[in-house]
């Protein structure tokens, strides 16, 4: 039960984050610019997040999706820590916990 819930929460979370980053509203663009990334980086990140969501949703590619998701979240954590933008750590911590739960129950 926990495994299935963590999987679907990750799918929804990565898909939602991917759509949000791909749409790239001015606030999102300013965050990425403040962190030193090029203008298109939020779209690239959003695409990777959507791909991760799809891979996690499919049992045959779940491990690859979880690995990609872990890399995305690790890069995000390093970025916000480096720029002392700690307000972003709470949602990232939720992703870390869900990835860990999904991996442990696999």
6-18 tens-digit pLDDT:
999 999 999 999 9
> Within 13 Å, how many C-alpha atoms sit on residue 60's CB side?
0
Q: What is the pTM of this model?
A: 0.92
Q: pLDDT tens for residues 34-76?
A: 999 998 999 999 999 999 999 999 999 999 999 999 999 999 9
Q: Is 63 exposed, middle or buried (0-12, 13-18, 19+ CB in 10 A)?
A: middle
Say how far apart CA 106 and CA 47 lie, in whole Å: 25
Residue 104 banded pLDDT, cuts 50, 70, 90: confident
d(CA 20, CA 100): 24
pLDDT tens digits, 72-96:
999 999 999 999 989 889 999 999 9
Residue 1 reports pLDDT greater than 90: no
């Amino acid at each position: 039960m926990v495994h299935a819930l963590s999987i679907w929460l990750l799918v929804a979370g990565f898909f939602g984050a991917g759509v949000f980053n791909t749409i790239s509203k001015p606030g999102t663009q300013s965050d990425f610019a403040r962190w030193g990334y090029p203008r298109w980086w939020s779209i690239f990140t959003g695409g990777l997040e959507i791909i991760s969501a799809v891979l996690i949703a499919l049992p045959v590619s779940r491990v690859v999706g979880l690995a990609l998701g872990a890399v995305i979240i690790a890069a995000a954590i390093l970025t916000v820590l480096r720029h002392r933008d700690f307000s972003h750590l709470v949602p990232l911590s939720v992703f870390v916990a869900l990835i860990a739960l999904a991996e442990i129950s696999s």
